[in-house]
A and B are shown apart, each in its own frame.
Chain A
Amino acid sequence: MDSVLRAENISKSFGPIEVLSGISLDLRPGEVHAVIGENGAGKSTLMRILSGHLPPTKGSLHLNGQPITFSGPVDAEAHGIVLVHQEILLAPDLTVAQNLFLGREIKRFGFVDDKAMRDRTRAILRELGTNIDPDREVSRLSIADRQLVQIARALLVPHKVVAFDEPTAVLTPIEAESLFEIIRKLRAQGVAVLYISHRLNEVKAVADRVTVLRDGRHIATRDVEGLEPLEMARLMVGRDMSKLYPEKPQTASDQIVLTVRDMAVPGYVENASFTLRRGEILGFGGLIGAGRTELFEGIVGLRPGHGTVTLDDRNVQFRDAREAMAAGIVYLSEDRKGKGLLLQQNLRINLSLAALDKFSRGSFIDTGAEEKALDQAIKDFDIRTRSRDLLAGQLSGGNQQKLLLAKMMLLEPRIVIIDEPTRGVDIGTKEQIYRFIASLAAEGKAVVVISSEMQELIGLCHRVIVMRNGRVAGEVAQADLSEDAIVYLATGVHEERAAEIAAGHA
Chain B
Amino acid sequence: MTETVLPTRAEKRKFAIDMRALSPFIALIVLIIAGALINPDFLTASNLLNVVTRSAFIAIIAVGATFVIAGGGLDLSVGSMAALIAGVMILTLNNLGGGDVGTLALGLLAAIALGAACGLANGLIVTFGRIEPFIVTLGTMGIFRSLVIWLAAGGTITMRNFELRELYRPVYFGSIFGIPYPIIAFLVVAAIGALILYRTSFGRHVVALGSNEDVARYSGVPIWRVRTLTYIIQGICVGIAVLVYVPRLGSATPTTGLLWELQAITAVVIGGTALKGGIGRVWGTVVGAVILELVANIMVLSNFVSEFLVGAVQGAIIIIAMLVQRSVHRGR
A binding-site residues for B, Cβ under 8 Å: 14-17, 19, 40, 42, 44-45, 302, 320-322, 324-325, 331, 333, 335, 338-345, 349, 352-354, 356-357, 360, 363-365, 385-387, 389-391, 394-397, 400, 407, 424
The answer to whether B13 and A340 touch across the interface, beta carbons within 8 angstroms, is no
Can you name the residue of chain B whose Cβ is closest to the Cβ of A349? B204
Contact partners of B4 in chain A: CB under 8 A = 14, 17, 19, 396
Contact partners of A16 in chain B: CB under 8 A = 7-8
* B215 interface contact, C-beta 8 A: yes
B binding-site residues for A, Cβ under 8 Å: 1, 3-10, 13-14, 195, 199-201, 204-205, 207-208, 211-212, 214-222, 278-279
The answer to whether B3 and A353 touch across the interface, beta carbons within 8 angstroms, is no
B292 to chain A, nearest CB (A): 27
Contact partners of B220 in chain A: CB under 8 A = 320-322, 324-325, 354
Residue of B10, B14, B219 near A353 (CB, 8 A) is B219
The answer to whether B218 and A339 touch across the interface, beta carbons within 8 angstroms, is yes
The answer to whether B222 and A320 touch across the interface, beta carbons within 8 angstroms, is yes
Residue of B3, B6, B219, B222 near A354 (CB, 8 A) is B219
Residue of B7, B8, B278 near A342 (CB, 8 A) is B278
Contact partners of A386 in chain B: CB under 8 A = 5, 7, 10
B95 to chain A, nearest CB (A): 38
The answer to whether A394 and B214 touch across the interface, beta carbons within 8 angstroms, is no
A389 to chain B, nearest CB (A): 7
In the bound complex, CA of A353 to CA of B212 (Å): 12
Contact partners of A42 in chain B: CB under 8 A = 1
The answer to whether B219 and A394 touch across the interface, beta carbons within 8 angstroms, is no
A372 to chain B, nearest CB (A): 17
B contact patch SS: helix
B77 to chain A, nearest CB (A): 28
Contact partners of B214 in chain A: CB under 8 A = 335, 338-339
The answer to whether B211 and A14 touch across the interface, beta carbons within 8 angstroms, is no
Can you name the residue of chain B whose Cβ is closest to the Cβ of A330? B220
Residue of A321, A357, A387, A400 near B10 (CB, 8 A) is A387
Contact partners of A15 in chain B: CB under 8 A = 6-9
In the bound complex, CA of A187 to CA of B238 (Å): 69
Contact partners of B212 in chain A: CB under 8 A = 338-339, 342-344
Contact partners of A321 in chain B: CB under 8 A = 217-220
In the bound complex, CA of A17 to CA of B1 (Å): 10
Contact partners of B7 in chain A: CB under 8 A = 15-17, 386
Contact partners of B221 in chain A: CB under 8 A = 322, 353
**Given A15-B7, A342-B278, A364-B199, A349:B215 Cβ within 8 A:** no
In the bound complex, CA of A345 to CA of B274 (Å): 13
Can you name the residue of chain B whose Cβ is closest to the Cβ of A40? B3
The answer to whether A342 and B201 touch across the interface, beta carbons within 8 angstroms, is no
- Of B204, B207, B221, most buried by chain A (CB within 10 Å of CB) is B204
Contact partners of B9 in chain A: CB under 8 A = 15, 394
In the bound complex, CA of A331 to CA of B9 (Å): 32
30 residue pairs from A and B, CB less than 8 Å apart: A14-B4, A14-B6, A15-B6, A15-B8, A15-B9, A16-B7, A17-B4, A17-B6, A17-B7, A19-B4, A44-B1, A45-B1, A322-B220, A322-B221, A324-B220, A338-B212, A339-B217, A342-B278, A349-B207, A352-B204, A353-B215, A354-B219, A357-B201, A360-B200, A360-B201, A364-B199, A387-B10, A391-B13, A394-B10, A394-B13
The answer to whether A390 and B10 touch across the interface, beta carbons within 8 angstroms, is yes
B211 to chain A, nearest CB (A): 4
The answer to whether A320 and B217 touch across the interface, beta carbons within 8 angstroms, is yes
In the bound complex, CA of A320 to CA of B204 (Å): 19
